[in-house]
Structure 1
Amino acid sequence: MAPEVALVTRGVELDVLGIGYDAITDEQRASVVEAHPRPNFKKEILAAFTEGLKDRPDTTFGNVKADVLQHFLPGFERGDFVEVIQESDWAE
């Protein structure tokens, strides 16, 4: 995949998670950051995720957002998919 295409089609993976970071050059990254600065990005995006999820923690079951609440929401206990299956009322 061409770097420009990767940047567009995998924007969230690259922007938020850093997946594909090396697929674009330092110059390309600098150009993007110049147009769209990222001051305190990591801290602020995690705070935004936490704020958006704290009142509906059950929506994080089975997805990566549970990781956010586990780190930033005191008392949060993530659901366990295996336990849900094992404790199901079905006999088998």
Structure 2
Amino acid sequence: MSTQPAHQRPLQQDWANREYIEVITGSIKKITDFLNSFDTSCRSRLATLNQKLTELERRVEYIEARIATNELPTENHLVDDVEIGSENFV
């Protein structure tokens, strides 16, 4: 059996508490770094998606305007103007 002097017990408990706090602090930092990275990634992807949706909305408005003015394009002309099938939207 090891008997510790009374003055060493609080000191050892203090070191144990500090180590525990250090582990918790490190874990919180890792979580924070991940969340910041995730936020940046999501914002970038949403901005890209927003640009693509804006472009599609403009194309739809263009086609609607042409239809409204009875300027019906030929099938090939419509495909050339829109080119929806050739884009990757995700």
Same fold (TM over 0.5): no
For normalisation by structure 1, the TM-score amounts to 0.23
For normalisation by structure 2, the TM-score amounts to 0.24
Larger radius of gyration: 2
Higher RCO (CA-CA < 8 Å; seq separation 6+): 2
